[in-house]
Amino acid sequence: MDLTSFLAAGAHADSGFVVGLVLGGFTGFLVAPAIRSWQAYREWTDASREARLADRLLERMEIDADLDEGRREVDDKVLGSTWRTHP
């Protein structure tokens, strides 16, 4: 059954507007959950990628700190002083 002809039979001038509004609302009601889940998935993937980058940065910082500590121990043994500044 055609909804437009049903509303046009009532002799309303704005029947096309009403039909469009009803169909748009119904379509939005059906599509909105899919759009929200897609947005949530995209946010989750972006957050996961940023978390992995932060983890890698912290691991590199720990490795650099360990390497710097090892260099300081070697420098201290060679120079015999703890007052040397590192560039």
Split at pLDDT 50, 70, 90, the class of 37 is very high
Convert the pLDDT of each residue in 39-79 to its tens digit. 999 999 999 999 888 888 888 888 887 777 666 655 555 55
18 vs 41 pLDDT, higher one: 41
pLDDT at 86: 54
Residue 13, number of CB atoms within 10 A of its CB: 7
Overall pTM > 0.95 = no
**14: alpha, beta or left? (left if phi > 0; alpha if psi -120 to 50):** alpha
Quickly count: other Cβ atoms within 10 Å of residue 27's Cβ: 10
User: Domain residue spans in the chain?
Assistant: 3-79
18 against 27, higher pLDDT: 27
- DSSP label at residue 82: S
Query: How many angstroms separate the CA atoms of 20 and 6, rounded?
Result: 14
